[in-house]
Amino acid sequence: MTAEEFRRHGHALVDWVADYWDRVETLPVLSQVSPGEIRRRLPAHPPSLGEDFESVLSDLDSIILPGITHWQSPNFFAYFPANTSGPSVLGELVSAGLGVQGMLWSTSPACTELETHVLDWMAEMTGLPETFRSTGAGGGVLQDSASSAALCAMVAAREKATGGASNRSGCDGRLTAYASTEAHSSLHKAAGIAGIGRENHRLLPTDGALRLDPCALREAVRADRAAGLRPFFVTATVGTTSTNAMDPLAAVGEVCRSEGLWLHVDGAMSGSAAICPEFRIHLQGIEYADSYCFNPHKWLFTNFDCDCFFVADRAALIHSLSILPEYLRNQATESGAVLDYRDWQVPLGRRFRALKLWFVIRHYGVEGLRTLVRHHVDLARRFAGWVRESEDFELVVEPPLNLVCFRHRGGDEANQAILDRVNGEGSLYLTHTKVGGALTLRLSVGQTRTELRHVESAWAAIREAGRAIRRPRG
């Protein structure tokens, strides 16, 4: 592709994305295709000769779009948001154009230094303790996902607990880790990958508000110690995936401190809310954390993938993941004056992710980002108010931020029917969870373009579906 052709197609594609965002709210949110349908529309064999770029673009519309679930629709209320924005996509474009590998400082100094700088900004923007900044003993790094952050945290903690032995000879099967039953599955998975063993990752009971119970944690740790095991790692979640429950960080942190355990705090979605001082209440006790992560790719207008991962002691992380084969030796690294982010993550290669975050922060400014987050929380609270006042529906838990868990009073079948109906109509997309065994509907507000009118229409559609199930069939 010549530079001229790239310019032409590139401009057309930017228009395509802008048009897509303009019209996405008119498309059925949940893709309605059946399994195999998209593949059947694709040619069985790759083209042996190059094709017109125009025909590629036209297939984008005719083949690919029908198979898209529209995460960027303002009517997307499922799971958690994965929002994006103009500055983010443009930052991604530059990153792709530069195509740098940021594994070492020397392989692109700006890639490393912008990342360090933006992570320090993030720590400041969200009110994190000084220990998480690069100017102290810790620092931040961008990971692809909260799952990777959890794995790196667990490996660093494992190494610390065994004085480096687990990196040489493996684990002895006696290390144990802890989280609540509501913690994200990525922690359980990390325990498997890190050689701790899923069986040794204890899922502890929660209190009435679905929060990790610090007393249960202390008891489990002591019982394991008494049985000759070696407790080493605890995860506390700020905003669980299922119901947005907030584990009590300070109380959990006290247990970790007195028992000598690594505390990892997972704030995947809700961590973004901490850019607003009034929502930092959920991070009270974060100073106990050895590591912490949250995902701007969920709720900070930065497209996937972008997870901010902070550690209080970077030496522990680097020791556990560092490698230095001859072909990567260089003066900057030997001098010790630079950070090499390949030592802060599982893969060697890494992309220039900080660009899109930098674009986003500079475009909106901290105040602009706060306004957007507050708007989402306000919309969720209004919705919760409508549920509270309705006769047919009830709140399952009080929403702390932007996720509303609610249900029809008619039981699981009624709620399943409502879910099927609204998702089948395509005008919005909701998902569910189970709370105390009961099917619960979740409305998660966080899409970049979601306005009051979208939440109002969602409520109207949900109520209508609720009425429809009460009407006798006939």
Ligand X SMILES: *Cc1c(COP(=O)(O)O)cnc(C)c1O
**Single residue of 186, 235, 345, 447 touching ligand X by CB under 6 A:** 186
Give the chain as a 3 state SS string. Answer: CCHHHHHHHHHHHHHHHHHHHHHHHHCCCCCCCCCCHHHHCCCCCCCCCCCCHHHHHHHHHHHHHHHCCCCCCCCECCCCCCCCCHHHHHHHHHHHHHCCCCCCHHHCHHHHHHHHHHHHHHHHHCCCCHHHCCCCCCEEEEECCHHHHHHHHHHHHHHHHCCCHHHHHCCCCCEEEEEECCCCHHHHHHHHHCCCCHHHEEEECECCCCCECHHHHHHHHHHHHHCCCEEEEEEEEECCCCCCCECCHHHHHHHHHHHCCEEEEECCCHHHHHHCHHHHHHHCCHHHCCEEEECHHHHCCCCCCCEEEEECCHHHHHHHHCCCCHHHCCHHHHHCCCCCHHHHCCCCCCCCCHHHHHHHHHHHHHHHHHHHHHHHHHHHHHHHHHHHHCCCEEECCCCCCCEEEEEECCCHHHHHHHHHHHHHHCCCECEEEEECCEEEEEEECCCCCCCHHHHHHHHHHHHHHHHHHHCCCC
Q: Which amino acid is at 339?
A: L
Q: Please tell me whether residue 184 binds ligand X under the rule CB under 6 A.
A: yes
Q: 186 or 433: whose CB is closer to ligand X?
A: 186
In the complex, minimum distance from the CB of residue 180 to ligand X, in angstroms, rounded to a whole number = 11
Other Cβ atoms less than 10 A from the Cβ of 14: the count is 14
In the complex, minimum distance from the CB of residue 465 to ligand X, in angstroms, rounded to a whole number = 26
Q: 376 or 408: whose CB is closer to ligand X?
A: 376
Q: 88 or 241: whose CB is closer to ligand X?
A: 241
Q: 83 or 162: whose CB is closer to ligand X?
A: 83
In the complex, minimum distance from the CB of residue 293 to ligand X, in angstroms, rounded to a whole number = 8
Q: 210 or 461: whose CB is closer to ligand X?
A: 210
In the complex, minimum distance from the CB of residue 181 to ligand X, in angstroms, rounded to a whole number = 13
Site for ligand X in 302-331 (CB under 6 A): 307
**Single residue of 146, 273, 428, 462 touching ligand X by CB under 6 A:** 146
In the complex, minimum distance from the CB of residue 281 to ligand X, in angstroms, rounded to a whole number = 18
Site for ligand X in 224-263 (CB under 6 A): 237, 240-241
In the complex, minimum distance from the CB of residue 79 to ligand X, in angstroms, rounded to a whole number = 8
Q: Please tell me whether residue 147 binds ligand X under the rule CB under 6 A.
A: yes
Q: 184 or 454: whose CB is closer to ligand X?
A: 184
In the complex, minimum distance from the CB of residue 295 to ligand X, in angstroms, rounded to a whole number = 5
Site for ligand X in 37-96 (CB under 6 A): 80
Site for ligand X in 258-297 (CB under 6 A): 266, 268-269, 295
Q: 302 or 427: whose CB is closer to ligand X?
A: 302
Q: Please tell me whether residue 221 binds ligand X under the rule CB under 6 A.
A: no
In the complex, minimum distance from the CB of residue 147 to ligand X, in angstroms, rounded to a whole number = 3
In the complex, minimum distance from the CB of residue 149 to ligand X, in angstroms, rounded to a whole number = 8
Q: 131 or 270: whose CB is closer to ligand X?
A: 270
Q: 25 or 307: whose CB is closer to ligand X?
A: 307
How many residues make contact with ligand X (CB under 6 A)? 14
**Chain residues in the site for ligand X (CB under 6 A):** 80, 145-147, 184, 186, 237, 240-241, 266, 268-269, 295, 307
